[in-house]
Amino acid sequence: MEIIKGGVTAAKGFEAAGVEAAIKYKNRKDMALVYSQAPCKAAGTFTTNVVKAAPVLWDKDIVDNSPAVHAVVVNAGIANACTGKQGYAYCKETAEVASKALNVPENSVLVASTGVIGMQLPMDRIAAGVEKLADAKKASLEAGLMAAEAIMTTDTVSKEVAVSFDIGGVTVTMGGMCKGSGMIHPNMCTMLGFVTTDAAISKELLTKALKEDVVDTFNMISVDGDTSTNDTLLVLANGCAGNAEIIAEDENYAKFKEALHYVNMTLAKKMAGDGEGATALFETKVINAKTKEDARILAKSVICSSLTKAAIFGHDANWGRILCALGYSGAQFDPEQLELFFEGGGKRIQIYKDGVATDYSEEEATVILSQPEVTVVVDMKNGTEEATAWGCDLSYDYVKINADYRS
């Protein structure tokens, strides 16, 4: 597998665009399109929040029941959540406009929205935006970047990744983009993620690969503990690479899963590191746990701890907060058996062993915790399983951003 430049347009046959439609924002791109002339197999995972946005309901139906997908239309600024029957009707209307503009079936159009909950979409602007997207779409890497920029809300940077890999002597490409900065606590994230590939793969295996992988990628991140109404992750496969279709769980399927895992993990980490007001990516790695589920629960508990996140922001080696988060996670363990380490900037120190603090240097700990990427390693010493979770520090700016989000 090779890491390459690009995002959703890296794979053959995919085009994209990002345009200004003035949905809520002014003087910035706020609508995006991902398009494939060739029909795509589609798989998706969606929010587990009982309150689901209209686009989530629309997309789930299309993914489950439509024979093929050609396009995804995304708007930023308004989430189209808690908008009743009218909100769902606007999803259908968006698909109708896109169907005509792109000359594809209406039931091959997916839609996604992110932004303020409770506001109705301005459909005149949405429709005009779709027309602009159809005219602007291109297969260039720049077009993919414009789409990635258009789906941002409080994100500070666009988020893209792409890889190429070999399937039976044929070069296959996979790329993706995502957005998400606040209300990020996925359990399948306001997280939106879109992955495109020119691989030929059965819908059944595409779905299986995605659902198995999100457990250790997107579901292992958290910014603020809030699970969005709009969380959507979509994978489109158009088969344009020309490989023999992957229909069995063989070596080629393993290669596909490896690429998908890298793309999902990279996008998830980019999202966690760009949490609202964040100054650092905060990673927790649990090793030698009794079960895989214990490892996941423990790692997620630490990165979700507001007190721990605040300590990371303050570069304070307040390891007691980590022990506290481990203790209320629900996993059972002997606290005098585990060991804790801080890692960052190529340095590593042990801070806890045999039930007490080690004789570590506070100054050295502060240097490590001042890095842009900080890792807490928790060695449970009661098994062989491991898991990693990603979050960010908790700064003053998180409150500032969310105290005034609707304006």
Other C-beta atoms within 10 Å of 327: how many?
13
Which pLDDT score, from 0 to 100, does residue 236 have? 98
Query: Which band of pLDDT confidence, cut at 50, 70 and 90, is reported for residue 403?
Result: confident
What is the tens place of the pLDDT at every residue in 23-53? 988 889 999 999 999 999 999 999 878 889 9
For residues 241 and 291, state if they share a domain: no
Residue 82, judged by CB atoms within 10 A of its CB (0-12, 13-18, 19+), counts as middle
Is the pLDDT score of 335 beyond 90? Answer: yes
For residues 225 and 336, which has the higher predicted lDDT (pLDDT)? 336
Query: Which band of pLDDT confidence, cut at 50, 70 and 90, is reported for residue 381?
Result: very high
Sheet architecture: strand order including 339-344: 356-357, 347-353, 339-344, 373-379, 281-289, 385-392
Domain boundary among 229, 245, 273: 273
* pTM of this structure: 0.85
Q: What positions carry a catalytic annotation? A: 190
What is the tens place of the pLDDT at every residue in 166-195? 999 999 999 999 987 544 444 433 589 999
Which pLDDT score, from 0 to 100, does residue 229 have? 72
65 neighbors 57 (Cβ within 8 angstroms): no
3-state DSSP assignment of residue 37: strand
For residues 246 and 346, state if they share a domain: no
Which pLDDT score, from 0 to 100, does residue 364 have? 97
Domain boundary among 214, 245, 273: 273
The region, left, alpha or beta by phi > 0 then psi within -120 to 50, assigned to residue 200 is beta
For residues 392 and 65, which has the higher predicted lDDT (pLDDT)? 65
For residues 249 and 299, state if they share a domain: no
Is the pLDDT score of 321 beyond 90? Answer: yes
For residues 296 and 247, state if they share a domain: no
Q: How far is CA 289 from the centre of its chain?
A: 26
Average of pLDDT values for 7-36? 96
Query: Which band of pLDDT confidence, cut at 50, 70 and 90, is reported for residue 278?
Result: confident
| CATH number of the domain bearing residue 351 | 3.10.20.340
Structure tokens at 199: 């691989």
What is the tens place of the pLDDT at every residue in 102-161? 999 999 999 999 888 899 999 999 999 999 999 999 999 999 999 999 998 777 788 999
For residues 131 and 219, state if they share a domain: yes
In whole numbers, what is the pLDDT of the chain averaged over residues? 92
For residues 189 and 315, state if they share a domain: no
Give the count of domains, the chain. 2
Structure tokens at 285: 């790695």
Query: Which band of pLDDT confidence, cut at 50, 70 and 90, is reported for residue 368?
Result: very high
- Listed in sequence order, the residues at least 6 apart from 208 whose beta carbon sits closer than 8 Å to its beta carbon are none
Percent of the chain with pLDDT over 70: 94
For residues 390 and 258, state if they share a domain: no
Which pLDDT score, from 0 to 100, does residue 295 have? 97
CA distances to 208, 246, 247 from 168, rounded to whole Å, are: 21, 10, 13
What is the tens place of the pLDDT at every residue in 207-266? 999 999 999 998 888 754 445 677 899 999 999 999 999 999 999 999 999 999 999 999
For residues 320 and 249, state if they share a domain: no
| CATH number of the domain bearing residue 200 | 3.60.70.12
Which pLDDT score, from 0 to 100, does residue 231 have? 83
For residues 337 and 267, state if they share a domain: no
> What is the DSSP code (8-state) at residue 201?
B
Q: What is the DSSP string of 206-271?
A: HHHHHHHHGGGTGGGB-SSSPPPS--EEEEEE--TT-PPPB-SSSHHHHHHHHHHHHHHHHHHHHH
For residues 276 and 394, which has the higher predicted lDDT (pLDDT)? 394
For residues 213 and 237, state if they share a domain: yes
> Which residue range is the domain that position 220 belongs to?
2-273
Average of pLDDT values for 198-209? 98
Which pLDDT score, from 0 to 100, does residue 186 have? 44
Average of pLDDT values for 321-344? 96
Least confident residue range of 67-76, 145-154, 276-285, 338-347 = 276-285
For residues 324 and 375, state if they share a domain: yes
Domain boundary among 249, 273, 297: 273
Percent of the chain with pLDDT over 90: 79
Task: Tell me which residue has tokens 């997107």.
Answer: 218
For residues 233 and 381, state if they share a domain: no
Which pLDDT score, from 0 to 100, does residue 158 have? 87
Which pLDDT score, from 0 to 100, does residue 137 have? 98
